[in-house]
């Protein structure tokens, strides 16, 4: 596995292009899912300096907090609740340009202004979600969705 992350691009697209193969190498070299979640959260934070990046794992009828980078977060989210619970239930990515306008948004931090949540599917089964929060409004677009879905797909390898 790589000793350190190397990102030289300035653009968002360029950064994701450099990041994905490095994350792929990390995940291919390690079979432990929690270890891989921890490194992916760390690399996303190091590359983009989001407000919060982390994983919630499906445990029964709830999401339970997994590896993350950023401030203290809520630990359990019921199915269908908040952005994370909805993305899990609907099995699709949800982009929230303004969290104050998302009915049922769970405010773990008052600094969070926009959010993207990507379900992690193993076969047809959602096993976790990748949740990213920004302190800026409207931080996430189609570029983020495309690349973060590719990152989430690394877990099926």
Residue number with CB closer to ligand SME (64 or 73): 73
Helix (H) or strand (E) holding 25: helix 12-28
- State the nearest-atom distance from the C-beta of 64 to ligand SME, in Å: 12
Residue number with CB closer to ligand SME (22 or 144): 144
From 22, 95, 115, 147, residue interacting with ligand SME (rule: CB under 6 A): 115
- Tell me the C-alpha distance between 113 and 105, whole Å: 11
- State the nearest-atom distance from the C-beta of 118 to ligand SME, in Å: 12
Beta bridge pairs of residue 60: none
Beta carbons within 8 Å of 153's beta carbon, 6+ residues apart = 121
In the region spanning residues 67 to 86, those forming contacts with ligand SME, defined by CB under 6 A, are 73-74, 77, 82-85
From 47, 112, 114, 134, residue interacting with ligand SME (rule: CB under 6 A): 112
| 126 belongs to the binding site for ligand SME (CB under 6 A) | no
Helix (H) or strand (E) holding 119: strand 114-122
Question: Which strands make up the sheet holding 62-69, listed edge to edge?
Answer: 76-78, 62-69, 52-59, 125-134, 114-122, 94-96
**Phi/psi of residue 23, nearest 5 degrees:** -65, -35
List of residues contacting ligand SME (CB under 6 A): 52, 73-74, 77, 82-85, 105-106, 108, 112, 115, 131, 133
């Amino acid at each position: 596995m790589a000793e350190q992350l190397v990102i030289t691009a300035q653009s968002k697209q360029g950064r994701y292009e450099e990041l994905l193969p490095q994350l792929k190498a990390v995940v291919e070299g390690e079979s432990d899912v929690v270890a891989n979640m921890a490194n992916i959260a760390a690399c996303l934070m190091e590359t983009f300096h989001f407000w919060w990046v982390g994983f919630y794992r499906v445990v029964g009828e709830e999401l339970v907090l997994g590896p993350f980078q950023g401030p203290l977060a809520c630990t359990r989210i019921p199915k269908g609740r908040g952005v994370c619970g909805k993305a899990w239930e609907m099995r699709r990515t949800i982009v929230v340009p303004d969290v104050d306008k998302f009915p049922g948004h769970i405010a773990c931090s008052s600094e969070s202004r926009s959010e993207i949540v990507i379900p992690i599917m193993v076969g047809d089964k959602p096993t976790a979600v990748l949740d990213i929060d920004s302190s800026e409004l409207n931080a996430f677009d189609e570029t983020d969705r495309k690349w973060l879905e590719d990152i989430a797909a690394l877990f099926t390898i």
